[in-house]
C-alpha cells in the first residue's frame, strides 16, 4: 500500500493499481529521442506486473505500532521478499522476458537498484531472508537468460529494460507519494534513449496539484494522462488491522487524474 498524507486525510493506493499506472506510462513511452527497445511488449508487461505479489497484502492491509497504515517501504524485509518472490513467479509464467526484468527489479530493491542509487549494501550485511532471496533471483535470472537465448544482445536489452522499469516506477511514485503530493521535484537517473545507451537523468517538477513537467520529454504525445485508483480515509490512529480495513471498506474509490506535460 502506498500511503500519502493530504491535509487531514490519508490517500491510499494499492501497489497493484500503481503497477497499472506504470503500464500506462510504458504504453505512452517513446519518441524520436527515446527509442523503445525491441522487443518492447515484454517491458509493458513487466511494468504492469512488477508489484503483483502485493495483491493479497493490499487487500488486507495492516497497521503499525502507532496505528498508521503500513506504508510499502516499512514492511518487514522477510515478508517483503516473500511477496516479491510470489510476484516474480507470476511474471515469469506470463512472459519469460518480462519475468527477467521483474526479477532484476526485485533484486534492485535490495541492492541500490543495481547501482543506480550508488554502491549496494554488501551481501554479508543483508538479512538472511534477503540474502536468500537475492541468491534465488540470480539463479532464476541465469535460467531465464538460457531459456531466452543468453548473449550480449539480451544483456543490453535487459539492462535498458530494467532502467526503463525503474523510470516508470519512480515516476509513478513521484506522482503518488514522495514528490507531487509534497510539491517537490525529483529525477530519474540513467534513463536509456536506446539499447546500449548509458542514459541520462530526467527531471520531474510539479505543475500544480495534479500535474508535473518532465524534462527531457520521453513520451510520444505532448501530454500523458496517468489516472490511478485510490481511496481516502481520515488521518487518525487505527486501533487494529480490522479498524483500518473497515474504514477502507466504507471509503469510496476515486480516480486520481494526474498528468505529465512536456517542459
The pTM for the full model equals 0.97
Write down the domain spans for the chain: 2-262
| Residue 9 pLDDT exceeds 90 | yes
Q: What is the pLDDT of residues 223-232, one digit of tens each?
A: 999 999 999 9
pLDDT, position 54: 97
Crossing angle of helices 152-173 and 128-148, in 10° steps, is 130
Q: What is the pLDDT of residues 105-153, one digit of tens each?
A: 999 999 999 999 999 999 999 999 999 999 999 999 999 999 999 899 9
Average of per-residue pLDDT values in the chain: 97
pLDDT (average), residues 145-162:
97
| Residue 215 pLDDT exceeds 90 | yes
pLDDT (average), residues 71-88:
97
Confidence of residue 4 (pLDDT cuts 50, 70, 90): very high
| Residue 164 pLDDT exceeds 90 | yes
pLDDT, position 263: 87
Grid cell for residue 94? 506470463
pLDDT, position 257: 95
pLDDT (average), residues 51-72:
97
pLDDT (average), residues 179-206:
97
Give me the percent of the chain exceeding a pLDDT of 70: 100
Confidence of residue 39 (pLDDT cuts 50, 70, 90): very high
pLDDT, position 224: 98
| Residue 159 pLDDT exceeds 90 | yes
pLDDT (average), residues 23-46:
98
Amino acid at each position: 500500500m502506498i500511503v500519502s498524507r493530504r491535509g487531514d486525510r490519508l490517500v491510499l493506493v494499492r501497489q497493484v493499481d500503481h503497477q497499472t499506472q506504470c503500464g500506462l506510462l510504458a504504453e505512452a513511452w517513446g519518441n524520436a529521442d527515446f527509442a523503445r527497445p525491441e522487443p518492447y511488449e515484454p517491458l509493458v508487461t513487466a511494468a504492469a506486473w512488477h508489484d503483483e505479489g502485493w495483491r493479497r497484502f493490499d487487500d488486507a492491509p495492516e497497521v503499525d505500532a502507532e496505528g498508521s497504515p503500513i506504508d510499502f517501504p516499512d514492511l518487514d524485509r522477510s515478508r517483503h521478499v516473500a511477496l516479491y518472490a510470489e510476484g516474480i513467479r507470476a511474471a515469469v509464467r506470463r512472459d519469460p522476458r518480462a519475468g527477467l526484468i521483474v526479477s532484476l527489479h526485485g533484486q534492485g530493491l535490495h541492492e541500490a537498484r543495481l547501482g543506480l542509487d550508488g554502491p549496494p549494501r554488501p551481501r554479508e550485511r543483508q538479512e538472511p531472508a534477503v540474502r536468500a532471496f537475492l541468491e534465488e533471483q540470480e539463479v532464476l535470472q541465469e535460467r531465464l537468460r538460457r531459456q531466452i537465448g543468453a548473449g550480449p544482445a539480451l544483456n543490453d536489452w535487459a539492462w535498458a529494460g530494467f532502467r526503463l522499469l525503474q523510470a516508470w516506477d519512480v515516476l509513478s511514485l513521484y506522482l503518488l507519494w514522495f514528490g507531487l503530493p509534497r510539491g517537490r521535484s525529483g529525477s530519474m537517473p540513467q534513463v536509456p534513449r536506446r539499447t546500449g545507451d548509458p542514459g541520462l537523468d530526467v527531471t520531474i517538477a510539479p505543475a500544480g496539484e495534479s500535474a508535473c513537467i518532465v524534462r527531457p520529454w520521453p513520451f510520444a504525445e505532448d501530454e500523458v494522462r496517468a489516472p490511478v485508483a485510490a481511496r481516502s480515509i481520515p488521518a487518525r490512529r487505527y486501533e487494529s488491522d480490522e479498524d483500518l480495513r473497515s474504514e477502507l471498506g466504507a471509503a469510496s474509490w476515486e480516480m486520481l487524474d494526474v498528468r505529465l506535460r512536456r517542459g
